[in-house]
Amino acid sequence: MYVVGDGIITKDEMLDVVSSIYDMMGRLATPSIDEYTAKDHVEMVFQRMDANKDGVISVEEFMDTCRRVGY
Ligand SMILES: [Ca+2]
């Protein structure tokens, strides 16, 4: 997992991260996961992580979410 240098994560960056996670998991898990599902998941996760609803995930919001969900 990476955190970008500007200290915030945009939805596009989140999609990159989640897509690569899904790529990894897709080889390990069933059923196969397609890009549409990854995008849906990004929307869901993004809304959940963006605590102050400013449309980007700050490092603090990111770390809070990681602590909550345990990854
Ligand atoms: Ca935010």
User: Which CATH number does the domain housing residue 64 bear?
Assistant: 1.10.238.10
Residues of the chain with pLDDT under 50: 1
Distance 25 CA to ligand 1 centre (A): 27
In three-state secondary structure terms, 55 is coil
Establish if 2 belongs to a structural domain. Answer: no
Which residue carries 């993004």 as its tokens?
46
For residue 50, what are the domain limits?
Answer: 8-69
In angstroms, the Cα distances linking 21 to 16, 18, 52, 53 are 9, 5, 25, 24
Distance 62 CA to ligand 1 centre (A): 9
pTM: 0.57
Number of domains in the chain: 1
The CA distance from 22 to 37, in Å, is 9
